[in-house]
């Protein structure tokens, strides 16, 4: 593949892609998609959230998972950065801490694909038995 | 922060929080005068004079989730460690400019790092904001403008993963030609 260096090169690439993207755009309902939020404040960035974010975007695309990956601010769990919040369609969001690329891979394969919880959850939105009565 | 591109990512997040729609990132490398300048200009909500002083204090933040705000203080510390400095101008309602000057050949100056990746994240995460990234080195320069990129894409979403990969590659190739570091 030739390298892209100018806007003209970008234009050419875009034409090749047009049909592929039209397909993707059909599933544009956010509720029906997996939503991933990567915390990207000073604490997150300093701990490597940029790499986690890029990894999530690329891997969701490569593994054909219909997901929206976005950035968010600091949730106050600076000690556990990088943190990510994953919301599967129709479920409560789950926050994971200390997410490196290996953990990110595990979260994609186990939690996002199969709904199987993995280690490293930060209990943000838990409910106690008393409250539930 | 491991490198300068991460500082830029961090500082630009402030601009985004300030509601900016037009953000200019400029890097000017001058190996003769021996300076490495990074400037971030935005048209966000700006800051009062009182707040401009406070943001340099690590124990000030506009957030409520934690009590410290280290983005600007860390950037300032890194610039000063090389013998450089950090300045800030802001007008409420107009926008903010933040400028850090590093000594180019100082051993404590972090490398630029993956600025193409940072721009990819910023563009992909905020398709409605216009980003202009200009990099100058010893008289040669490269400019990436999301308005031009959007025009070239002709209606294609700028935040598509494949398109973002192309944009990153384009920035990376041009910077390699400038020998930017």
pLDDT digits (tens, 9 = 90+) for B136-166: 999 899 999 999 999 888 888 888 888 899 9
The answer to whether position A1 is within a domain reads no
Q: Does CATH place domain B4-178 in 3.30.565.10?
A: yes
* Preferred mutation among A18, A42, A52, A60 to probe B, highest tally of B CBs within 10 A: A42
pLDDT per residue, tens digit, chain A (133 aa), is: 578 888 888 888 887 777 666 656 555 566 778 999 999 999 999 999 999 999 999 999 899 998 889 999 888 899 999 999 999 998 889 999 999 999 999 999 999 999 999 999 988 776 667 765 5
The total domain count for chain A is 1
The answer to whether position A9 is within a domain reads no
Report how far residue B63's alpha carbon sits from residue B52's, in angstroms, rounded to the nearest whole number: 16
Angle between helices B161-178 and A49-62 (to 10 degrees): 130
The answer to whether position A53 is within a domain reads yes
Half-sphere exposure for B27 (CA within 13 Å, toward CB): 24
The answer to whether position A82 is within a domain reads yes
Q: Supply the pLDDT for residue A18.
A: 74
pLDDT digits (tens, 9 = 90+) for B13-36: 999 999 999 999 999 999 999 999
User: Residue B160: which of A10, A21, A76 has the nearest Cβ?
Assistant: A21
A72: CATH: 3.40.30.10
Distance of CA B117 to the CA centre of its chain: 12
* Residue pairs between chains A and B whose CB atoms are closer than 8 Å: 99
pLDDT digits (tens, 9 = 90+) for B81-137: 999 999 999 999 999 999 999 999 999 999 999 999 999 999 999 999 999 999 999
Minimal CA separation from B134 to chain A, in Å? 15
* Preferred mutation among B76, B153, B157 to probe A, highest tally of A CBs within 10 A: B153
**For residue A107, what are the domain limits?**
28-132
The answer to whether position A60 is within a domain reads yes
Distance of CA B51 to the CA centre of its chain: 20
- Closest-CA residue of B relative to A57 is B161
The answer to whether position A70 is within a domain reads yes
The answer to whether position A80 is within a domain reads yes
Residue B68 has pLDDT above 80, yes or no: no
The answer to whether position A117 is within a domain reads yes
Domain residue spans of chain B:
4-178
Q: Supply the pLDDT for residue B102.
A: 96
Q: Please work out, in degrees rounded to the nearest 5, the angle formed at the alpha carbon of residue A41 by the alpha carbons of A38 and A47.
A: 75
Question: Are A21 and B156 a contacting pair at CB < 8 A?
Answer: yes
> Which residues of chain A are within 8 Å of residue B120 when distances are taken between CB atoms?
54
């Amino acid at each position: 593949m030739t390298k892209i260096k100018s806007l003209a090169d970008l234009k050419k690439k875009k034409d090749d892609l047009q049909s592929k993207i039209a397909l993707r755009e059909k599933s544009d309902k956010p509720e029906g998609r997996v939503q991933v939020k990567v915390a990207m404040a000073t604490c997150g960035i300093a701990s490597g959230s940029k790499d986690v974010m890029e990894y999530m975007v690329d891997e969701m695309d490569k593994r054909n998972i219909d997901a929206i990956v976005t950035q968010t601010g600091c949730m106050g769990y600076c000690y556990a950065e990088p943190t990510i919040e994953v919301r599967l369609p129709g479920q409560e969001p789950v926050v994971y801490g200390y997410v490196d690329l290996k953990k990110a891979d595990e979260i994609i394969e186990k939690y996002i694909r199969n709904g199987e919880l993995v280690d490293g959850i930060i209990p943000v939105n838990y409910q106690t038995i008393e409250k539930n009565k | 922060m491991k490198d300068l591109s991460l500082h830029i990512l961090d500082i630009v997040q402030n601009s985004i929080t300030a509601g900016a729609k037009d953000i200019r990132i400029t890097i000017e490398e001058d190996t003769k005068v021996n300076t490495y300048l990074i400037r971030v200009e935005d048209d966000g909500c700006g800051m009062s004079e009182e707040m401009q002083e406070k943001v340099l204090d690590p124990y000030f933040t506009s957030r409520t989730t934690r009590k410290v705000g280290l983005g600007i203080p860390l950037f300032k510390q890194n610039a000063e460690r090389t013998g450089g400095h950090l300045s800030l101008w802001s007008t409420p309602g107009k926008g903010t400019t933040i400028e850090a000057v590093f000594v180019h050949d100082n051993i404590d100056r972090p490398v630029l790092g993956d600025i193409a990746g940072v721009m990819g994240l910023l563009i992909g995460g905020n398709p409605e904001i216009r980003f202009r990234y200009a990099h100058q080195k010893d008289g040669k320069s490269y400019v990436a403008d999301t308005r031009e990129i959007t025009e070239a894409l002709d209606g294609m979403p700028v935040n598509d993963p494949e398109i973002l990969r192309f944009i990153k590659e384009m920035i990376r190739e041009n910077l390699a030609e400038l020998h930017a570091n």
